[in-house]
Amino acid sequence: MKNKELIRGIIAPILTPMDENEEVNETELRNQVRRLIENGISGIFAFGTNGEGYCLSETEKERILAVVVEETAKKVPVYAGTGCISTKDTVRLSKKAEELGADVLSVITPSFAAASQEELYCHYRALAESVGLPIVLYNIPARTGNALAPDTVARLAEVEGIAGVKDSSGNFDNMLQYMENTKGKDFAVLSGNDSLILWNLLAGGTGGIAGCANVFPRRMTQIYEAFTEGKLKEARQYQDSIREFRGLFRYGNPNTIVKMAVEMLGYPVGRCRRPFSMISEEGTKKLGKVLEKYREAGIC
């Protein structure tokens, strides 16, 4: 299968349900996998940013991936977030994900220590030479401190096994440059910012990895479906409809808002792991009001 056929649509970075003791709730994880698939999601991404991959142990990641792979049952591709700070650890975790049945690797840039573009290039090339799964580069400099420059992405697109990039920089021009620099190649460019999914598609991208899909999966898939059917007016309406919810991110970590919203919709997914679990009283009230408005409109 070509990269652009595999890596496309609305991919849900599934949240990681937890109980009151912050232990992974496997029963609800399975339920969320089924819920996403039933609503037309194109792929499921385990332990990404919305899945709290940054504060899960490696043992937990392995178990979560095993559950997601089993419950998905090949209905949609499974992505695994295997990026670590070191190349050695990234390769080890990626090989484990391949062994457990993942279909695609989503690999965030190394974090904390500053990395040059040449170091980033060598990091990803070494990974591609070590595993047999397609790799999606993950650019989110606000969280990692390291940005993948368009020229570096163009170089990496020439490496066998590197199949695409997810851009969560929020800079649409950066995403456009990824597309321009890989034009004519079988290389997928995904939006990691939910508000830019339609614009990504219009510019020649293949879709998005959308945290909001945890809250209203059907509405997010409608953006992609309407676009592919040529119904651009409807696609724009669907895209614009999520703006009010995303406006709530000013009240806390977006992951926290998303997970609390899913909990408020009646799914026992719990809170994010501390300390990333707080939202103000004002934010909680406004979240409740927005969700009620969305329920009345049939969005969730």
Do the beta carbons of residue 79 and residue 105 sit within 8 Å? yes
Tell me how far CA of residue 147 lies from CA of 7, 87, 102, 174, 217, in angstroms.
21, 16, 26, 10, 29
Confirm whether 4 is a catalytic residue: no
> How many residues in total does the chain contain?
300
Confirm whether 138 is a catalytic residue: yes
DSSP H or E run through 252: none
Catalytic one among 166, 251, 267, 294?
166
Place of tokens 């909680």: 284
Do the beta carbons of residue 205 and residue 175 sit within 8 Å? yes
Q: Which residues of 105-119 are buried (b: 16+ CB within 10 A; e: fewer)?
A: bbbbbbbeeebeeee
Q: Residue 240: count other Cβ atoms within 10 Å of its Cβ.
A: 12
Burial class, 178, CB count within 10 angstroms (exposed 0-12 / middle 13-18 / buried 19+): buried
Q: How far is CA 78 from the centre of its chain?
A: 11
Catalytic one among 121, 138, 251, 294?
138
**Any idea which residues carry the catalytic annotation?**
138, 166
